[in-house]
Amino acid sequence: MGQYVGAIDQGTTSSRFVVVDAEGSFVSMASKEHAQVLPRPGWVEHRPDEILANTISVVTEALDTAGISASDLAGVGITNQRETTVIWDRRTGEAVANAIVWQDTRTAELAKVLASTYGADTFRVKTGLPPATYFAGPKVRWLLDEYPDLNRRASDGELAFGTIDSWLAWHLTGRHVTDVTNASRTMLMDLESLSWDDELVDALGVPKAMLPEIVPSIGVIGPCTGVLEGTRLTTILGDQHAALVGQAAFDVGDTKVTYGTGAFLLSNTGTDIVHSESGLLSTVAYQVAGESARYALEGSVAVAGSAVQWLRDNIGIIDSAEQIEAIASTVPDNGDVYFVPAFSGLFAPHWRDDARGVLVGLTRYSNKGHIARAVLEATAFQTKDLLDAMVADTGRELPELRVDGGMVANKLLMRFQADILGLDVVVPSVAQTTVLGAAFGAGIAAGVWSNTDEVSHRWREAARYRPSMEGGERDRLMSGWSKAIDRSLNWIES
Ligand SMILES: Nc1ncnc2c1ncn2[C@@H]1O[C@H](COP(=O)(O)OP(=O)(O)OP(=O)(O)O)[C@@H](O)[C@H]1O
Ligand SMILES: [Mg+2]
């Protein structure tokens, strides 16, 4: 067995593969974007075969760059965009339709029917999730209803359901599995027993024959074939859970925010499942094989970095994501302009699928600097709402906040985030914590590192942003933000 570790990060916008050495340093990395298929407002799809092909191609490229072969990898981890749903034919391995992406809102009516028929608490108590378009269960149901014959074929055992981790694991190992973190986002798994719940499976009408086997996140899953022949799959973690591991947030109360396509705050609650009174989700943080699962409270924001991409691709006032900082810096403040990026409704803490995006407070004085600034500030305001919910639920103030993901490169945003939270915001030396976390998991399971303590020592602080805003100014801004949120609600009428 080799002395390196590999990690696949199959994200919402791109797929990456990294090779990591026994010190935890990146040796090589390759990445590739895939198409966002947007057939109608509110619908978002990916092509599963494109995702698989890109994954295989980045694995090949990064192994080549490192000058090693798959057998030099002691183990490989998968981390993935969560909730995105695929159904495939077990015989051919081909997907029966495009994947329905986590941001897709086509299941809004179904989510409402589930809540009114079974009561939102039925789902919340068992799964830690409210019925919402976000989760995988309603997406499977939608596919089964939409395409003729799928129900029968699923019941006959011809079809397999899985989130992206399962789709990749099936093609890389031949096993039909998912890990506890990904399974905890389906609305079908009991958080306590870590198994599919018969009552919920019935409520959603998902044939049991199509469900994957649930396995621990960090533990040997099996030998790989094809491009990874010669090594083993030793970890599966949802992307936000992997980022928690990559931030070495192993102790109760350890909290991180990852700013990527969306923004996700996770706070480790140890072996306790904490149920939120404030609109947060309860979720599995990770599970090491042979140990109890660790849980987390999560605040999920659907749109963060993707609003910057929207400004670039749909509106065109910037050519690249980095440019937003320079344009936002042409003005001293937001000029009273607020932007609520409720493109997919609002997730935590509001859970309103009737909300849509609004840009408010415009006057003849407003310019593109104010709009760029409002787009960046929206991410910080949404994170502040999550943190307030977290403090309300746990009764614990945070000493500081660990952050990571693509948007932490934006200094203006990070300074504003520290100001609006009134907290130190801390960036680690590796901002790519998602893929690092999958590599940490894979290395622990493969015996490269003996346990989570050993990888904790590899975490290093790279930058710290200290708040300098007056409390009065913070309150004034938050009051503007909360009015803007009100304006975004009740837009879609059912
Ligand atoms: N300098 C920047 N300022 C603001 N936003 C940025 C900047 N650089 C990147 N971004 C945003 O960060 C996001 C990319 O970050 P990252 O790669 O962590 O995302 P991700 O969610 O992990 O991607 P994926 O969806 O593929 O997993 C993009 O949405 C991009 O618009
Ligand atoms: Mg990602």
Ligand 2 center from residue 9 Cα (angstroms): 7
Nearest to 399 by CA among 269, 295, 253, 263: 253
Report the 10 Å Cβ neighbour count for 458: 17
Residue 8 lies in a domain: yes
Which domain, by its residues, includes 179?
A: 4-247
User: Which atom of ligand 1 lies at the shortest distance from residue 322's CA?
Assistant: 1
Instruction: Indicate yes or no: pTM above 0.85.
Output: yes
Q: What is the block-wise mean pLDDT of the chain (494 residues), using blocks of 10 residues? A: 90 96 93 94 95 98 96 97 97 97 93 89 92 94 92 93 98 98 97 96 94 98 96 98 95 93 94 93 96 96 95 94 97 97 92 94 96 98 96 89 95 97 94 94 95 87 95 95 97 83
Per the structure, how many domains does the chain have?
1
Whether residue 114 contacts residue 123, with contact meaning beta carbons closer than 8 Å, is answered with yes
Report the residue among 18, 34, 261, 323 best suited for mutation to probe ligand 1: largest number of ligand atoms under 8 A from its CB: 261
Residue 379 lies in a domain: no
Whether residue 420 contacts residue 384, with contact meaning beta carbons closer than 8 Å, is answered with yes
Whether residue 185 contacts residue 163, with contact meaning beta carbons closer than 8 Å, is answered with yes
Residue 198 lies in a domain: yes
User: Which residue is closest in CA terms to ligand 1's atom 31?
Assistant: 305
User: Which atom of ligand 1 lies at the shortest distance from residue 304's CA?
Assistant: 29
Residue 86 lies in a domain: yes
Residue 430 lies in a domain: no
Residue 267 lies in a domain: no
DSSP secondary-structure letter at 101?
Answer: P
- Which pLDDT does position 126 carry in this prediction? 94
- Which pLDDT does position 188 carry in this prediction? 97
Rounded CA separation 21/44 (Å): 36
Whether residue 427 contacts residue 460, with contact meaning beta carbons closer than 8 Å, is answered with no
The domain that holds 157 is classified in CATH as 3.30.420.40
- Which pLDDT does position 1 carry in this prediction? 55
Ligand 2 center from residue 12 Cα (angstroms): 7
Whether residue 167 contacts residue 48, with contact meaning beta carbons closer than 8 Å, is answered with yes
**Unique residue bearing structure tokens 């493109």:** 343
**Unique residue bearing structure tokens 């990888």:** 455
Ligand 2 center from residue 261 Cα (angstroms): 7
User: Which atom of ligand 1 lies at the shortest distance from residue 258's CA?
Assistant: 18
Residue 175 lies in a domain: yes
Residue 61 lies in a domain: yes
